[in-house]
Amino acid sequence: MICYRFGVLVNIKAVLLTLLQKKKLDKLGVLYFLSSKKRNYDIKNLATHLDKRLSVIKYIEDINKSCIVELTPYGVYGRFAIPNKITVNIQRPLNEIVKTILHELVHLELEGKIKSFSFFQREKIVDKKVKKILKGVKSIESK
């Protein structure tokens, strides 16, 4: 089950974490946002659309723990925190946000096994699993 969080505190946390890791993010070439193009987001509507698109992915259905997904226009595309928290940037198309949530869920699943690997090795492993998961999915483009 996915529970969405959003609001000023989520946004402040995303900005602070990004600023604290800015040097590392820049060195790795990771994209991030410290400003927002829009002032108001219809987060409840976004969460409804995310749920619809995520519902077609069997992997997510099979996850037997609840997960908190923080939605913010700030910070990196996606970030995870053990045991069950994901922060995702919403300044992108809906299908990319869905893929980011899936990507971070896979990180949560595999982190114990791959945490000793380099950043790029971990990303490659996670991306490979995400690609495999999405191979059996008809479409997350529109639901």
Mean pLDDT of 114-143: 87
- The DSSP H or E segment spanning 22 is helix 22-28
Q: What's residue 63's pLDDT?
A: 80
The pLDDT assigned to 62 comes to: 81
Is residue 143 in some structural domain?
no
**Domain assignment of residue 50, yes or no:** yes
pLDDT of residue 72 exceeding 70, the answer is: yes
We report the CATH number of the domain holding residue 39 as 3.30.2010
Identify the pLDDT of residue 141.
62
Whether 104 is covered by a domain: the verdict is: yes
Residue 12 lies inside a defined structural domain of this protein: yes
Q: What is the pLDDT of residue 139?
A: 66
Q: Is the pLDDT of residue 90 over 60?
A: yes
pLDDT digit string, tens, across residues 13-47: 999 999 999 999 999 999 999 998 887 889 999 99
pLDDT confidence of residue 142: 52
Does 9 reside within a domain? Answer: yes
Would you tell me the crossing angle of helices 94-114 and 43-54 to the nearest 10 degrees? 60
In a domain, 126, yes or no: yes
Domain count, the chain: 1
Nearest to residue 32, comparing CAs of 73, 67, 62?
73
Residue 131 lies in a domain: yes
Q: Are 46 and 90 in contact (CB under 8 A)?
A: yes
3-state class (DSSP) for residue 44: helix
Domain-located, residue 141: no
Give the domain extent around 44. 2-135
Show the beta-strand stretches assigned E in 2-139: 2-5, 32-33, 67-72, 75-76, 78-81, 85-89
Q: Is the pLDDT of residue 131 over 70?
A: yes
pLDDT at position 143 over 60: no
Average of per-residue pLDDT across 76-87: 96
